[in-house]
């Protein structure tokens, strides 16, 4: 569930890969907070970037979130080109549910199994949604800033496109297994 986005502005051009999770049989899921870029025209290699950590904050996971290269023509950023990361999952609920799944497996056929299954259902039904944070990554300085907030819990496992000066996000999951029919459009904060 990493986020991937291409940036084609010359100086910082590359294929960027952010966050996600590492799943391996028999091991706990590893929540990833790292970032990489592949620059086919200049180095032809992958470069490790700084972790996803806005100034003054700890590194965070943004798996399944939405990423888009946003240009100043869209009015979303200061001069130059950057990448916006909208929402994403921090992985805490995933790890909680994964641990609960192991407990359910161990409790198979016991009276405790039903109570654990009920707890799992409750966690899923009352899931608070995903991060509302909108982060901006500046590839020239390899830095992250918090650029704003999504009006509701963000949509994950979807895409974003720049269209007529706005960013459009169609559908997506608002909680695990719950897809939204809504389409969001973010107009420029500068009213352009």
- 40 with 117, same domain? no
Instruction: Let me know if residue 59 belongs to a domain.
Output: yes
pLDDT digits (tens, 9 = 90+) for 96-115: 999 999 999 999 999 999 99
- Diameter of the chain measured on Cα atoms: 62
- 139 with 107, same domain? no
List the domain range (segments joined by +) for residue 17.
3-89+131-186
Instruction: Give the Å distances, CA to CA, from 85 to 65, 74, 75, 152, 167.
Output: 7, 15, 16, 15, 12
Q: Provide the pairing of β-strand 173-175 with 166-170.
A: unpaired
Instruction: Let me know if residue 174 belongs to a domain.
Output: yes
Distance CA 55, CA 12 (A): 21
pLDDT digits (tens, 9 = 90+) for 60-97: 999 999 999 876 555 555 445 789 999 999 999 999 99
CATH code at position 14: 2.120.10.80
* pLDDT reported for residue 78: 44
Which structure tokens are listed for 15?
Answer: 């294929």
pLDDT of 165 above 80:
no
- 64 with 100, same domain? no
- 45 with 136, same domain? yes
Other Cβ atoms closer than 10 A to 134: 21
- 124 with 38, same domain? no
């Amino acid at each position: 569930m990493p986020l991937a986005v291409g940036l084609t502005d010359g100086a910082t051009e590359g294929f960027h890969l952010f966050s996600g999770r590492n799943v391996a049989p028999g091991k706990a899921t590893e929540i990833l907070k790292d970032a990489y870029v592949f620059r086919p025209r200049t180095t032809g290699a992958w470069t490790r970037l700084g972790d996803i950590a806005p100034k003054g904050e700890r590194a965070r996971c943004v798996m399944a979130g939405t990423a888009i290269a946003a240009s100043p023509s869209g009015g979303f950023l200061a001069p130059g080109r950057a990448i916006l990361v909208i929402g994403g999952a921090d992985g805490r609920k995933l790890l909680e549910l994964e641990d609960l799944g192991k407990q359910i497996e161990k409790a198979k056929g016991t009276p405790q199994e039903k109570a654990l299954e009920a707890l799992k259902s409750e966690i899923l039904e009352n899931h608070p949604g995903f991060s509302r944070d909108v982060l901006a990554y500046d590839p020239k300085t390899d830095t992250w800033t918090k650029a704003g907030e999504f009006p509701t819990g963000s949509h994950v496992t979807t895409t974003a496109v720049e269209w007529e000066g706005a960013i459009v996000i169609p559908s997506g999951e608002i909680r695990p297994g719950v897809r939204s029919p809504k389409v969001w459009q973010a107009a420029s904060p500068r009213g352009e």
